[in-house]
């Protein structure tokens, strides 16, 4: 019986890790674009990114369920290209989590990019660094702390997700049953002992993970390096 | 430069993770098409513990493996409409199976009542002197409760959405107590949540499913079934299912007299349908036929 909880743990970690990676890949350019954008449509895009914060998860989950079903266009396209049904698959919960956790990754990055200022990038360009080189040798080191925050928030939020996944995942063991849903199942089945066990391990695991990330992110560990970086370029 | 190298290694790792993921899901899929795939049973959470016990025997008798997916009937109803890979759906009501049947999502004439819900009044403060309670009728108990604690919160499931809630409202109306109780009600979204409120003692009294009390070794006062319309819990077999034969075996198994008796022993009422006696007999015959094959 404990095996099914381990299986849920593995599914959860896979889902959260993959979601975080995808979010960093999509979220970084999006945050950069928003930070540098001057158009008056910026507020609209920002509002769209923040929507998952406002929408109740079950509502978002319901519309995603419709979108992912084979009866509607996104679900159809997916089925045509991959040959598999999107709704109730592992891919579906990853896509759902990406949408649901988007603001948690984009917003910290956008704030960091906004505060960065142009002078260092211009100096880098004058020294002959291309855009990609400038990103990796100037932007990334200076905003490392925000990247860690964004990744940890995205990861943590995805682990704790419930409503969206329950709706579009269908609670299928080994595929879409994640820890939060397994926990809910135990409570519903009056199996309070296992529910408590799962809850306490989830709590301790999350505490350790978050503490480790915040330790990595301590200002002392990063400040000196960042300052050196800035000075060496100046 | 070193950084770029590191990043490219990271990206390559990402790709590797992605492709191995894709590979894994392919492997899973080829497994899914196999006949050894378990029978997926979507079940209303109030019946899950009973189903799990019954399934042990079912697997022993038929060798069919199953996977239980427990949830709220309403959510699973929607999921079935949008393509959930379930084979059998054991709802907490009869409305949703009927709707699925009308919309053509179910196997013809697979809709059956597998259990009938029974209501019970539970109070955490009264249960300690259960002996004195048994002397009183439910009318007296509720009237006394209303007189002694007219403002104490009283939990029922939402009468507008949950079948147990609707029945609780009908029973209170039948007893002439609905108006007195209406202002003190706390409504759970389903009977499971209603019971959790009582179990956690957030609310001290309420009307829940008798099966919940039996499963948790608690005692309450049964509310006679004649006070409300029957809470029929029905099952349907999903038309899309590739395991209809196994699903039918399960249906016959659940309707057999042995299973029905066990369901009643877990605090459900006797299923009293016009064709139920026939159903159970036929089910018994069919099950033995099917297992003989």
pLDDT, tens digit (0-9, with 9 covering 90-100), for A138-154: 899 999 889 998 999 99
Q: Are residues B143 and B179 both part of a single domain?
A: yes
Chain A nearest-CA residue for B190: A188
Q: ipTM of the predicted structure?
A: 0.75
Which of B84, B192, B215 is opposite residue A170, by nearest beta carbon?
B84
Q: Are residues B102 and B242 both part of a single domain?
A: yes
Q: What is the pLDDT of residue B32?
A: 41
What residue spans define the domains of chain A?
2-233
Tell me if B180 is assigned to some domain.
yes
Residues of B with CB below 8 A from A68's CB?
82
Q: How many domains, chain B? A: 2
Q: Assess if CATH 3.40.50.180 describes domain A2-233.
A: no
Q: Are residues B130 and B112 both part of a single domain?
A: no
Q: What is the pLDDT of residue B17?
A: 42
A12-to-A3, A94, A104, A203, B160 alpha-carbon distances in Å: 14, 10, 18, 14, 35
Tell me if B25 is assigned to some domain.
no
pLDDT above 90 for B247: yes
Residue B130 banded pLDDT, cuts 50, 70, 90:
low
Tell me if B262 is assigned to some domain.
yes
Are the C-beta atoms of A121 and A64 separated by less than 8 Å? no
Sign of the torsion angle spanned by Cα atoms A43, A44, A49, A55: positive
Q: What is the pLDDT of residue A39?
A: 87
CATH code: domain of residue B247? 3.40.190.10
Q: Are residues B161 and B78 both part of a single domain?
A: no
Last residue of a domain, one of B171, B200, B222: B222
Q: What is the pLDDT of residue A222?
A: 55
- Other Cβ atoms less than 10 A from the Cβ of B16: the count is 10
Domain of B207 in residue numbering reads as 119-222
Residues of A with CB below 8 A from B7's CB?
136
pLDDT, tens digit (0-9, with 9 covering 90-100), for A199-209: 998 889 888 88
Last residue of a domain, one of B222, B243, B276: B222
pLDDT above 90 for B253: yes
Q: Are residues B137 and B180 both part of a single domain?
A: yes
- Residues of chain B whose beta carbon is less than 8 angstroms from a beta carbon of chain A are 3-4, 7, 14, 17-18, 21, 25, 28-29, 40, 45, 48-49, 52, 67, 69-71, 75-76, 78-79, 82-86, 192, 196, 212, 215-216
Q: Are residues B45 and B57 both part of a single domain?
A: yes
Q: Are residues B111 and B129 both part of a single domain?
A: no
Range of lowest pLDDT (A56-70, B15-29, B57-71, B156-170): B15-29
Q: Are residues B110 and B236 both part of a single domain?
A: yes
Any chain B CB within 8 A of the CB of A71? Answer: yes
d(CA A151, CA A213) in angstroms, rounded, equals 10
Q: Are residues B112 and B242 both part of a single domain?
A: yes
pLDDT, tens digit (0-9, with 9 covering 90-100), for B40-60: 999 998 899 999 999 999 999
Chain B nearest-CA residue for A174: B28
Q: Are residues B112 and B235 both part of a single domain?
A: yes
Distance linking the first and last C-alpha atoms of chain B: 70
Chain B nearest-CA residue for A84: B29
Of the candidates A15, A6, A56, A10, the one whose C-alpha atom is nearest the C-alpha of residue A169 is A15
Any chain B CB within 8 A of the CB of A172? Answer: yes
Q: What is the pLDDT of residue A189?
A: 78
Chain A nearest-CA residue for B8: A136
Any chain B CB within 8 A of the CB of A78? Answer: no
pLDDT, tens digit (0-9, with 9 covering 90-100), for A180-194: 999 988 888 778 888
């Amino acid at each position: 019986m404990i095996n099914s909880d381990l299986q849920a743990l593995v599914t959860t970690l896979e889902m959260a890790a993959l979601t975080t990676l995808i979010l960093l890949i999509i979220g970084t350019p999006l945050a950069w674009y928003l930070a540098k954008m001057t158009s008056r449509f910026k507020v609209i895009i920002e509002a769209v990114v923040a929507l998952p914060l406002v929408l109740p998860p079950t509502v978002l989950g319901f519309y995603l369920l419709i979108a992912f079903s084979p009866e509607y266009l996104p679900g159809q396209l997916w089925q045509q290209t991959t040959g598999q049904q999107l709704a109730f698959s592992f891919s579906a919960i990853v896509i759902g989590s990406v949408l649901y956790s988007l603001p948690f990754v984009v917003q910290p990055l956008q704030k960091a990019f906004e505060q960065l200022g142009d002078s260092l990038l211009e100096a880098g360009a004058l020294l002959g660094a291309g855009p990609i080189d400038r990103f990796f040798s100037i932007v990334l080191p200076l905003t490392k702390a925000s990247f860690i925050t964004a990744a940890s928030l995205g990861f943590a939020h995805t682990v704790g997700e419930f409503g969206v996944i329950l709706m579009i995942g269908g609670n299928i063991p080994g595929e879409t049953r994640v820890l939060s849903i397994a926990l809910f199942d135990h409570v519903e089945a009056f199996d309070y002992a296992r529910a408590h066990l799962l809850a306490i391990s989830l709590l301790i695991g999350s505490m350790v993970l978050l503490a480790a990330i915040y330790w990595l992110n301590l200002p002392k560990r990063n400040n000196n390096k960042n300052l050196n970086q800035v000075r060496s370029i100046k | 430069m070193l950084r770029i190298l590191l990043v490219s290694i990271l990206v390559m790792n990402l790709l590797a993770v992605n492709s191995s993921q894709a590979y894994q899901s392919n492997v899973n899929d080829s497994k899914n098409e196999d006949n050894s795939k378990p029978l997926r049973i979507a079940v209303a959470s109030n019946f899950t513990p009973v189903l799990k016990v019954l399934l042990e025997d079912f697997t022993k008798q038929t060798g069919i493996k199953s996977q239980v997916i427990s949830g709220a009937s309403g959510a699973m109803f929607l999921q079935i409409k949008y393509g959930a890979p379930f084979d059998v759906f054991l709802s907490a009501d009869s409305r949703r199976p009927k709707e699925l049947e009308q919309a053509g999502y179910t196997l013809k004439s697979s809709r059956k009542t597998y259990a009938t819900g029974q209501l019970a009044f539970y109070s955490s403060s009264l249960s300690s002197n259960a002996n004195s309670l048994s002397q009183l009728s439910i009318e007296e108990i509720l009237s006394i409760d209303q007189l002694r604690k007219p403002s104490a919160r009283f939990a029922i499931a939402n009468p507008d959405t949950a079948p147990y809630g609707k029945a609780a409202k009908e029973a209170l109306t039948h007893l002439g107590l609905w108006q007195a109780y209406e202002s003190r009600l706390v409504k759970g979204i389903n009977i499971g949540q209603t019971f959790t409120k009582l179990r956690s003692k957030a609310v001290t009294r309420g009307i829940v499913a008798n099966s919940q009390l039996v499963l948790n070794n608690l005692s309450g006062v049964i509310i006679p079934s004649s006070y409300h319309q029957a809470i029929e819990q029905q099952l349907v077999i999903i038309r899309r299912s590739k395991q209809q034969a196994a699903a039918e075996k399960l249906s016959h198994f659940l309707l057999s007299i042995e299973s029905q008796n066990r369901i009643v022993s877990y605090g459900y009422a006797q299923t009293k349908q016009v064709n139920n006696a026939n159903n159970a007999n036929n089910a018994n015959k069919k099950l033995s036929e099917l297992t003989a094959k």
